[in-house]
Chains A and B, each alone.
Chain A
Amino acid sequence: MRPLVSLVTWLKGLPRITVVTVSLFLFFGIFGPWIAPMDPSAQDLSLMGQGPSATHWLGTDHLGRDTLSRLMVAANTSLTSVGMVLAIAMTIGITMGTIAGYCRGWVEDLLMRLVDVGLSIPSLIISLAVIGIVGPGYWSMVFALALAWWPMSARISRAVAVSIMNKPHIEALRVLGASPLRIYFNHLLPGTIGSVMVYATADAGMAAIAVATLSFLGLGIQPPTPEWGQMLVDALPYLESDPRQVILPGLALTAAVIGFNTLGETIALNRVPKRLSRRQLLTRRMEVAGWHKETSDAA
């Protein structure tokens, strides 16, 4: 009961648009393939390009496939790929970040310089370069995006790890003679993972865009698996006659991203769990104003 109550209070602190879009995305992302009214890849060329009707609520595409079902299943595709990308990226990032935060000194300098370089190159270019080398495909997409994404979580986890390492209980553990491994695995790592995961969820929107962009370029998720970016590029030649097929997947993706972006902003501004003072809030907003990259390098 207790966790449920605290979850509800946490949700109440979020903007309504965030709760609606993110929960819709998660709902269709998890249950999409089961609740889709029709087979998303069943073609019926006699029905191609139809408008909304009782059987096809959002009409059909140029191959006569049911758009509503395809949109629902695409949410699932998007959610699984984003989840996998973030999981791999966070594993790399947290490992690097905690090592940097634990060792400090030249190890930290080296790793953080690497992170800075990674952050200064747009993720699309990194992932395309990786795909160019290993060749296109589902797993190379996930791998390429994870390689483009880990610096962000590495930076956050280093910051968290440093603050944990400066706490008195770590010093007390050292005095007690705890081994470095015990400090790292029992105290540093668990403390870091939690807070980094919260921040990284906020990145999910940008990761979803990246997945859709690669699929749009034909280098990500391959047909017949429905995916929003790929549905959009499929329908693009028919933009004049049937714009609905282009706009619907785009809107679905944009709505999901708006949800995650507002979630990220709320987390970064720390409206939940406690409100900041006006001055603190302004500084924090300045920091998060550029969603894509931090602007402050105040050291």
Chain B
Amino acid sequence: MLRYTGNRLQQSVVLLFLASVVCFTLVVSSPGNVAVLIAELRGMIGSPGYVEQIEQEIGLNKPLLIRYADWLGNVIQGDFGISYRTGHDVNADIMNRITVTGMLVAGGAVVATVASLVLGFIGAFWPGGITDRAVRGFALVGASTPTFFVGALVIFMFAVILNLVPAVGFNGLKSWILPWITVAVLPAAVLSRVVRVGLEEAMASPYVLTAKSKGLSRFRIMFRDALPNITPIYINALGTQIGLMTAAAIIVEPLFAWQGMGDYFLNGVRFRDFMVVQACLLLFLTFFIVVNLVVDLTVMATDPRIRRQRSGA
């Protein structure tokens, strides 16, 4: 157990290092002279010597390795530099925005988990019944509907027709509801399939037969015996879905006129603000690496079979 955790941590550190190299190279290898671009963005392209001045300013004339080391040192200290476009401090911007995205993804994850467990369980409890068919239909449609269309539909239904919640903007708990539903639909659909199929498979195993012969009720067997057995698969799938929800924030935040990390990244991409793109990309990749690590460790903690197999090897 301890050895596996150590190995896995080591792996994550290597991945983090690779992620930093990728983020750095992406920006360095971008076509065109960055200094000229900054001069253009600041509207100073005409003035002589300004491009050289910027080159000095951001250290473009130093060797690559030194630039990488400088950059990494700053990043580790939490300094992502200054946005080329607005001149703002990137960390300050990120600090303002990260809670919005964090809440969005966390809330979406809760909604998706609850919905998928309930739906998948209902579907598996009466296989072939009308609820099962409804759940399967939801899984198919939910996984096939693009997130931006889900967003447009929920805004239309809840804000325009029913007029229950504010469509866009940010005031109070009510304005969280629609974005949470929007990010949660796709993960809920995929995860409910995982639960539904996982339970069906678990219910076909011998220990269920034993429990049945002991006279336990179907609900009890499913809830107490089958459900815990699908946790490893479920947590794995949930980890993937949390990653996808973070990506979905890029779509959902502009849709609801929110200012979070997704919106920040998108604007960085739109205006080719490399420092912003680099910082957001690095944060996203770090988040995925951490989520993957947590998922792997949790799966191992919950599944003694994997624990034995991996630490034994």
Contact = CB atoms under 8 A, between A and B. Distances in A.
Nearest to A278: B204
Interface in B197-237: 197-198, 200-201, 204, 233, 236-237
A289 B194 contact: yes
A40 interface: no
Nearest to B244: A122
A12 B247 CA distance: 38
B152 A133 contact: no
B153 interface: yes
A253 B149 contact: yes
A128 B250 contact: yes
A162 interface: no
A175 to B, nearest CB: 35
Contact of B201 (A134, A261, A282, A292): A282
B140 A217 contact: no
B233 A122 contact: no
B68 to A, nearest CB: 17
Interface in A100-154: 117, 120-125, 128-129, 131-136
A132 B277 contact: yes
Task: Kindly name the residue among B146, B190, B204, B251 whose own CB sees the greatest number of chain A CB atoms within 10 A.
Answer: B146
A239 B168 CA distance: 13
Contacts of A258: 140-141, 144
Contacts of B248: 124
Contact of A129 (B148, B236, B281): B281
A161 interface: no
A229 interface: yes
Given A240-B160, A243-B160, A292 B240 contact: yes
A246 B167 CA distance: 15
Nearest to B157: A243
A290 B194 contact: yes
B156 A134 contact: no
A233 to B, nearest CB: 7
A132 B247 contact: no
A219 interface: yes
A232 B141 contact: no
How large, as a class, is the contact surface on chain A?
35 or more
Contacts of A11: none
B152 A239 contact: yes
A126 to B, nearest CB: 9
B237 A295 contact: yes
B54 interface: no
A29 interface: no
B152 A236 contact: yes
B15 interface: yes
A169 B219 CA distance: 53
A229 B277 CA distance: 23
A257 B146 contact: yes
Contacts of A239: 152, 155-156, 160
Contacts of B288: 120-121
B144 A117 contact: no
B26 interface: yes
A295 B232 CA distance: 10
B284 A125 contact: yes
B243 interface: yes
Given A120-B288, A247-B156, A292-B190, A132 B272 contact: yes
A149 to B, nearest CB: 14
A261 B26 contact: no
A84 B237 CA distance: 30
Interface stretch (A30-38, A57-65, A185-193, A205-213): A205-213
A247 B150 CA distance: 10
Interface stretch (B73-81, B84-92, B95-103, B261-269): B261-269
Task: Kindly name the residue among A134, A212, A218, A291 whose own CB sees the greatest number of chain B CB atoms within 10 A.
Answer: A291
A232 B155 CA distance: 13
Contact of B266 (A128, A229, A240, A247): A128
B200 A247 contact: no
Contacts of B272: 132-133, 135
B251 A120 contact: no
B140 A261 contact: yes
A289 B237 contact: yes
Contacts of A120: 243, 288, 292
B30 interface: yes
A286 B277 contact: no
A195 interface: no
A205 B146 CA distance: 10
A129 B30 CA distance: 11
A282 B285 CA distance: 34
29 contacts: A121-B243, A121-B288, A122-B244, A122-B246, A124-B247, A125-B246, A128-B269, A129-B277, A131-B269, A132-B277, A133-B274, A134-B30, A212-B146, A229-B146, A229-B148, A232-B152, A247-B152, A247-B156, A257-B144, A257-B146, A285-B197, A285-B201, A289-B198, A290-B193, A290-B237, A290-B240, A292-B190, A292-B241, A293-B240
Given A257-B145, A257-B146, A295-B236, 17 more contacts: A120-B243, A120-B288, A125-B284, A129-B269, A132-B272, A133-B272, A134-B30, A212-B146, A219-B270, A236-B152, A239-B160, A250-B149, A254-B145, A258-B144, A279-B204, A289-B190, A291-B143
